[in-house]
Amino acid sequence: MKKLLIIVLLLPLFFMMNVPYSTAAGGTIERIDGANRFEVAVNISKKGWSTTGNTVVLANANAFADALSAAPLAYYKNAPILLTQKDQLTAITKQEMIRLSPSEVILVGGEGSISDQVISEIKSLGIHNVRRIAGSDRFEVSAAIAAELPASSKIVIADGTKFPDALAIAPYAARNGYPILLTLPNSLPSTIQNAVKARNAQSSIVVGGLASVSSQVASQLPAPQRIGGSDRYEVAANIIRQLNMKTDKVFLATGLSFADALTGSVLAAKQNAPILLTHSNYLPEATKKIIIEKSIINFTVLGGLASVPANVVNQTALSLLGLTIVVDAGHGGSDTGAVGNGLKEEDITLDVAKRLQSKLSAQGAKVIMTRTSDTYPTLTERVEMANSIGADVFVSIHINSSTSPSASGTETYWNRTYAAAESKELATYIQRELIDELGTKDRGVKEANFYVIKNSKMASVLTELAFISNSNDAKLLKTSTFREKAAQAIFQGISAYWKNQ
């Protein structure tokens, strides 16, 4: 034993955690990496458990059934969850066992999950207190795990035939000392019925939609509160929403396999952080939506690049997170605005506004449009939309016109009544980007008393993209290329401004 310890201490650090890095959104991303699930589990353990003499919970690396309920027990015992093959420990797991030198190892599941051979292996490491929490099926195992937890006012019920819902709620359940009991989607197994009774909890959290836990099952539970969702990603997001979980930092794991989320859930619980799930090819809409809604900027990514690739992680780093912006397409409805050269101002402003909206939303801004079709909100209504929600930025888009056909170019206005410095700064950024992108004549940044920028209480500007009355400008205004460039320029101007706030 002693010899082994020395060898381990002398081993170089093969398993360095990736260095945390800062993102465009001003947050930090840290990855707990690993060549496979065994190594990820070990690196999670290293990150969260520096002292020896604790408990270790050991689960089968390839079968989630018995492991789904393990997180609350692991958290209660201040134990990392390590993974094993059915008949053999991997070398890296052995080394971690030696480092942790646990006072107790708990195997979750019967011999069908982890064989007695593994117990012998652990004992040969000099760790003698090894026991199982077993049962004839996953339901019995979850009931047996629950029986080891102290009394609680609440229980959690999740579908035992799939892993995502149980793992998404694991950090919350663990931290609050609520057991996770498993059920079949359409019937509550008698083992669990008994466990629920024995537990005598006053209320329950049902995780997953009706296809995961039917209303018939839910009706057999004390005061059930359902956290549903259209898919696993939305369920994980709704757990954060409905339970009002802290989102200073969020763990991100693949939703396609269970291992990393399982072993990471105990560390997440220790750090009081929820888990969000992602697809390996893209960041799911539901996940992105909650990131925007809660302005989540700090992530711990669980697993290697094959599970959660860098390009997926990068999609979380939205540069306009936290920005609420009102985009005002000038005129509309009964008010066509300026007309000339076969063009109507109201159409162009709406087109550019919609293009701008999609660019802003893609980077995580909350965008409120004063209009999305050919309607006319009054100027007071437009301003009220921004003031009532406490928007950060108001941008009004217009097209200029003059009785002199030679007048041409681009200008951007601000007003000093509210947020004078910010408004001028925003106008300056937007004007600079517009001139760069459009190559139009630079008419400059100007102050004016236009109603919408005078009465909006936040950084607010009104931009006049070009002259509808000038034949050259009008030719440009007709093209989607020009409109796209204009939207891009305004987007860049807002981004530059927001970065400096």
Write down the least CB distance from residue 346 to Zn ion, Å: 9
- Which span (107-115, 154-162, 226-234, 324-332) binds Zn ion, by CB under 5 A? 324-332
Write down the least CB distance from residue 367 to Zn ion, Å: 20
Q: CA 77, CA 55: separation in Å to the nearest integer?
A: 6
Q: Give every CB contact of residue 124 below 8 A, 6+ residues apart in sequence.
A: none
Write down the least CB distance from residue 375 to Zn ion, Å: 15
226/371 with CB nearer Zn ion: 371
Write down the least CB distance from residue 477 to Zn ion, Å: 13
DSSP 157: E
End-to-end CA distance of the chain: 57
Backbone angles phi, psi at 14, to 5 degrees: -70, -25
463/495 with CB nearer Zn ion: 463
27/330 with CB nearer Zn ion: 330
Q: CA 356, CA 394: separation in Å to the nearest integer?
A: 13
Site residues for Zn ion, 330-359, by CB under 5 A, read: 330, 337
Count the Cβ atoms, other than its own, within 10 Å of residue 35: 12
255/330 with CB nearer Zn ion: 330
Write down the least CB distance from residue 296 to Zn ion, Å: 38
266/329 with CB nearer Zn ion: 329
CB 466 within 8 A of CB 438: yes
Binding mask 37-76 for Zn ion (x = CB under 5 A): ----------------------------------------
Write down the least CB distance from residue 298 to Zn ion, Å: 42
Question: Among candidates 41, 29, 94, 86, which has minimal Cα distance to 63?
Answer: 86
214/460 with CB nearer Zn ion: 460
331/424 with CB nearer Zn ion: 331
55/349 with CB nearer Zn ion: 349
Residue type for position 276? L
> Residues in the chain, how many?
501
330/493 with CB nearer Zn ion: 330
Q: How far is CA 111 from the centre of its chain?
A: 38
Helix axes 259-270 and 37-48, enclosed angle (nearest 10): 10
DSSP 441: -
Q: Which two tokens stand for residue 322?
A: 């936290």
Write down the least CB distance from residue 430 to Zn ion, Å: 16
Binding mask 369-398 for Zn ion (x = CB under 5 A): -----------------------------x
User: Which residues are catalytically annotated?
Assistant: 464
DSSP 18: P
Write down the least CB distance from residue 450 to Zn ion, Å: 9
CB 100 within 8 A of CB 177: no
Helix (H, G, I), strand (E, B) or coil at 255: coil
Count the Cβ atoms, other than its own, within 10 Å of residue 310: 11
Query: What is the number of helices (H) and of strands (E) in the chain?
Result: 19, 21
Binding mask 112-141 for Zn ion (x = CB under 5 A): ------------------------------
Q: How far is CA 84 from the centre of its chain?
A: 30
Helix (H, G, I), strand (E, B) or coil at 341: coil
Residue of closest CB approach to Zn ion: 398
| Phi-psi region at 194: left, alpha or beta (left = phi > 0; alpha = psi -120 to 50) | alpha
What is the widest separation between alpha-carbon atoms in the chain?
94
Under rule CB under 5 A, residue 294 binds Zn ion:
no
CB 338 within 8 A of CB 468: yes
Q: Could you tell me how many residues of this chain bind Zn ion (CB under 5 A)?
A: 3
Instruction: Tell me the CA distances in angstroms from 335 to 371, 375, 469, one per residue in order.
Output: 13, 9, 17
Write down the least CB distance from residue 468 to Zn ion, Å: 9
- Which span (2-10, 128-136, 322-330, 356-364) binds Zn ion, by CB under 5 A? 322-330
Positions touching Zn ion (CB under 5 A) are 330, 337, 398
